[in-house]
Amino acid sequence: MNITKHVNLLCALVLMLVMVGCGNKEVSIVKEGTLDFDKTLTVGKAIDNYKYFKKVDWKLEQSENGKRVVVVSGDLEVEKILNEFRAFGKDKNISLIDVLSTVQSLNNPGGLSMVPDILPEVKSAKLEFEFLINTDNSFKLGWYGYRIEMRNGDKSNPPTNSKGAIQILEEIYSNKFLGIASEIALQAPMQSPAKKVEAPANPKDTAIAAANAKAQAENDRSAALAAQGPAAINAAGKPASPAPSAIPNNQNSNVYVDIIKNFIAAEDRRDIATINNYLSEHMERYWDISSPLPEQIYNRYQHVWSITAYSKNQILHIEKQNETTYVLFTRYQYEGNRQHKVIAKDNRVVFVFDNDMKITQIYGLD
């Protein structure tokens, strides 16, 4: 009886050692490997020595069909990132607007503008990467994402994605932090009941708590104009969404172009009610936010507007890519609140529409 028990324990121990050994093999493949953008450092040295990680864990995960995946998780030094972010502008005697204009990896400056308000409320943040092991024991980069816990107990596990992973790894290799700080601020859950903005049940209604009575009245007027059809749009410059079947095919392009122009005009007026009228109830992407909630979009606009005294788009032209996808070429100009200097930047912005002629995706092209 005792012999059988000991044999079972020994077998279990051997199995555990084999599993650990296998895991170490795959982890070593990744840690000792290099990435195409920088072959001067191994992946392991770059991530393990990133100065804004206080702890790094590597582990092997295996799917039911045998796929081998190495996941690395780094605990971010949020307070250190925040302190260095605050010192960044002071040491160089530059404003936040100057910082934003130099960050090439961001599609929208809203993330960095949120850092001073959001990061002090972050209790912990983990940055995770997935590396897929191929059958020939080479590897490739998979998804990345953040696990964020706020001081009030709210937690966020945003959807993981592969877009932008290389840019964030480049920051890690260079011991930089601005892109990571911005993404933490963007993906953190809402702060507290006092600061939360209620999400509209329907973007048409724009039931956002912070929207004032004037915005709500404008929204109601926009809805009434929408019911009157395209003529009302041309007369008042307000959004409407006639069904595609109600418009001749050769006029669809003009209608989409008009929607984009009216949307940009609403942004320039800082008219959140009208902006929401153009957006789909099921947004798939808003710049770097996947499947954004209405309050996330609202908060992004409010933060961007709060740090700029002036902003305006000069539409250069709009190109049709396919029946529902258009690219806007625009020259964006803005002036910061603290530095009276107008900055101009040429942008290419993609607009994707759904079958109801609502905008379902907005994002920038590099």
Distance of CA 344 to the CA centre of its chain: 23
Q: Is residue 205 part of a domain?
A: no
Q: Are residues 99 and 225 in the same domain?
A: no
Q: Is residue 111 part of a domain?
A: yes
pLDDT at 288: 85
Q: Are residues 301 and 257 in the same domain?
A: yes
Q: Is residue 198 part of a domain?
A: no
Q: Are residues 147 and 280 in the same domain?
A: no
Round to whole Å and give the CA distance between 202 and 360: 14
What mean pLDDT is predicted for residues 307-326?
Answer: 89
Last residue of a domain, one of 187, 204, 226: 187
202 by Cβ neighbours in 10 Å (0-12 / 13-18 / 19+) ranks as exposed
pLDDT at 70: 96
- Taking only the tens place, the pLDDT of each residue in 140-195 is 999 898 999 999 888 887 656 777 788 889 999 999 888 888 888 878 875 443 33
What mean pLDDT is predicted for residues 55-69?
Answer: 92
Q: Return the percentage of the chain with pLDDT > 70, whole number.
A: 67
What mean pLDDT is predicted for residues 228-237?
Answer: 42
Q: Is residue 194 part of a domain?
A: no
Quick one: angle between helices 110-118 and 294-306, nearest 10?
A: 90
95 confidence band (pLDDT: 50, 70, 90): very low
Q: Return the percentage of the chain with pLDDT > 90, whole number.
A: 36
pLDDT at 158: 64
299 confidence band (pLDDT: 50, 70, 90): confident
- Taking only the tens place, the pLDDT of each residue in 182-209 is 888 878 875 443 333 344 444 434 333 3
Of the candidates 185, 180, 109, the one whose C-alpha atom is nearest the C-alpha of residue 337 is 109
338 confidence band (pLDDT: 50, 70, 90): low
What mean pLDDT is predicted for residues 39-62?
Answer: 96
305 confidence band (pLDDT: 50, 70, 90): confident
Q: Is residue 177 part of a domain?
A: yes
Which range, of 78-87, 238-247, 254-263, averages the lowest pLDDT? 238-247
Q: Are residues 226 and 86 in the same domain?
A: no
Q: Are residues 153 and 265 in the same domain?
A: no
Last residue of a domain, one of 145, 171, 187: 187
Which residue segment(s) compose the domain that 108 sits in? 2-187
Q: Are residues 89 and 127 in the same domain?
A: yes
Round to whole Å and give the CA distance between 47 and 141: 14
Q: Are residues 41 and 172 in the same domain?
A: yes
pLDDT at 185: 83
Q: Are residues 170 and 315 in the same domain?
A: no
Spatial CB neighbours of 94, under 8 Å, sequence gap ≥ 6: none
pLDDT at 195: 39
- Taking only the tens place, the pLDDT of each residue in 249-281 is 555 568 899 999 999 998 989 888 889 889 999
What mean pLDDT is predicted for residues 211-240?
Answer: 44
Q: How many domains does the chain have?
A: 2
Round to whole Å and give the CA distance between 311 and 366: 21
Q: Are residues 94 and 241 in the same domain?
A: no
| DSSP-based three-state secondary structure for 306 | helix
What mean pLDDT is predicted for residues 357-363?
Answer: 95
55 confidence band (pLDDT: 50, 70, 90): very high
The total number of residues shown for the chain amounts to 366
Last residue of a domain, one of 187, 202, 228: 187
Structure tokens at 209: 């708590």
Taking a C-beta distance cutoff of 8 angstroms, is the pair 304, 108 a contact? yes
Q: Is residue 38 part of a domain?
A: yes
Q: Is residue 143 part of a domain?
A: yes
pLDDT at 333: 86
Alpha helices in the chain (DSSP H): 2-31, 43-48, 78-92, 96-102, 110-118, 165-173, 178-187, 213-228, 230-236, 249-269, 272-278, 294-306
CA atoms lying within 13 Å on the CB side of residue 306: 13
Q: Are residues 157 and 240 in the same domain?
A: no
Q: Are residues 181 and 33 in the same domain?
A: yes
| pTM for the whole structure | 0.50
Q: Is residue 200 part of a domain?
A: no
We report the CATH number of the domain holding residue 225 as 3.10.450.50
Q: Are residues 57 and 153 in the same domain?
A: yes
